[in-house]
Amino acid sequence: MATTHGILIALSSKRLALLESDPETLEDVVEARHEDAIPGLLDLKTYWETLDMIMSGRGRDEVLGDALLARSGKALAVDTAFEQARVLSPQRVAEVAAKLADLSLATFKERAQQLGKAKDMDQLLALYKQIQALYAEAAKSKQSMLALLV
């Protein structure tokens, strides 16, 4: 079994409409992430599950539980091989951004150490800061957020 990557993509209303009307676009974007930097796309690599545990206790915190997996989001109506493709509304993105801003680096580090992830701390912190920035920018621009596993 291949290792699963978590991916977040900030979506303007135009970008969301394009993905819904042409599902192959999503596959193209996901594949292209290896060659080019794609604005608004964050590849969490295989750290998504650990980050989810640290940030939300695997969904126990309902708001932060949406940050990486969009648990309460709407399923993206595309016929793809993705395990999960869910979209958060701009309103929910703003809620997640606010809650992420409240989760201090000290609390994040403490939770990571409790999970025995001290050796991955630098990578986890770097990704956490990128997640915070992605959500803050998406909230500011009133964008949706797509979360998927590939």
Tell me if 82 sits within 8 A of 6, measured CB to CB: no
pLDDT value at residue 83: 53
pLDDT value at residue 76: 81
Q: In whole angstroms, how far apart are CA 121 and each of 5, 37, 68?
A: 18, 24, 18
Backbone angles phi, psi at 47, to 5 degrees: -85, -5
In a domain, 52, yes or no: yes
What's the domain range around 129?
Answer: 6-149
- The domain total for the chain is 1
pTM: 0.93
In a domain, 60, yes or no: yes
In a domain, 37, yes or no: yes
pLDDT value at residue 30: 86
Backbone angles phi, psi at 117, to 5 degrees: -105, 25
In a domain, 124, yes or no: yes
User: First-to-last CA distance in the chain?
Assistant: 12
In a domain, 1, yes or no: no
Q: Which amino acid is at 121?
A: M
Tens of pLDDT, residue by residue, the chain (150 residues): 356 899 999 999 999 998 888 878 888 888 888 888 889 999 999 999 999 999 999 889 999 999 999 999 998 866 556 657 899 999 999 999 999 999 999 999 999 999 999 999 999 999 999 999 999 999 999 999 999 988
pLDDT value at residue 1: 39
pLDDT value at residue 21: 85
Q: In CATH, what number is assigned to the domain containing residue 19?
A: 3.40.1760.10
d(CA 12, CA 143): 5
